[in-house]
Amino acid sequence: MVRRIVKVYPRFERLWHWSQVLLIFTLLFTGMGISGIHSLLPFGPAVILHTIAAMALLLLWLFAFFWLFTTGTWRQFVPSFNGVIQILRFYAWGVFKGEEHPYRKIYWRKHNPLQILTYFGLKAFIFPAIWITGLLYLSYDFWDHYVEAPQWLALVANLHLLTAYVIAAFVVIHVYLLTVGHGFVSHVKPMLTGFDEIDLTPEQERYLETNEPQRLRDERAYSET
């Protein structure tokens, strides 16, 4: 294998990531205001901004869903338990002992197994749950005439709040993990420039040099291993 600096995050993926960051932080901030956790924003404007950000995020996710399946990038998120225990051990113990990360990025697998399982859980369960409960909450005027509507609304509100807390916990853990290993800047930089250090087989390296040379930096990250 050869360690090269390769453009693994295309422009849309980076735009999707940072737009999602902005919108999720807006939703968390306004959601906490609506729930009474803070009073930095009046209730009315908080509801309006929360709704606008939610609709924008839903639209962004629909575009991302289309992009994932038309480009074949969805394969990056097929879960696997291979190596999960080693990565969990690294984050729980090895990182404090100065050990090397057990996973090395490869051309067709830029996320480690723990990341993939986490992203799969978010995309398959948590995000759909917050979409559905949010839309039900927003459309309450269309079903408030049912006898048990208030009880259902309370359930919807609690589920929406619970999934929001799960997303908030993910954000906190995600930011924390960016600080371990090689440091915050080295983790964030690839999502700004698109370039990251990954392992290539000789065949993959030749293919990129011949067909997509713009995706390779001239310098090699490391010697061949």
Angle subtended at Cα 212 by Cα 207 and Cα 196, rounded to the nearest 5 degrees: 95
Between residues 156 and 108, which one has the greater pLDDT?
156
In a domain, residue 69? The reply is no
* Single-letter amino acid code for the residue at 89: R
Residue type at 28 in one-letter notation: L
Say which residue the tokens 């950000």 belong to: 53
Asked if residue 59 is part of any domain, the answer here is no
Give how many domains the chain has, as a whole number: 1
Quick check: is 181 in a domain?
yes
Which of 214, 194, 200 shows the shortest CA–CA distance to 105?
200
Q: What are 120-146's pLDDT values in tens digits? A: 999 899 999 999 999 999 999 999 999
Q: Rounded to 5 degrees, what angle do the CA atoms 104, 106, 108 make?
A: 145
Per residue in 44-91, pLDDT (tens digit) is 999 999 999 999 999 999 999 999 899 888 888 888 888 899 999 988
Residue type, 219: E
Between vectors from CA 222 to CA 115 and to CA 192, what angle results, nearest 5°? 50
> 3-state class of 116 per DSSP?
helix
Q: Could you tell me if residue 198 is inside a domain?
A: yes
Residue 144: give the domain boundaries.
2-10+78-220
* pTM reported for the whole predicted model: 0.85
Task: For residue 92, tell me if it sits in a domain.
Answer: yes
The four Cα atoms 177, 85, 200, 76 give a dihedral, to 10 degrees, of -70
Q: Which two tokens stand for residue 140?
A: 């309450």
Residue 173 β-bridge partners: none
Does a structural domain hold residue 127? yes
Residue 206 burial (CB count, 10 A): 11
Residue 53 domain-assigned (yes or no): no
For residue 31, tell me if it sits in a domain: no
pLDDT digits 0-9 by tens, 187-224 = 899 999 999 988 888 898 888 899 889 889 865 544 44
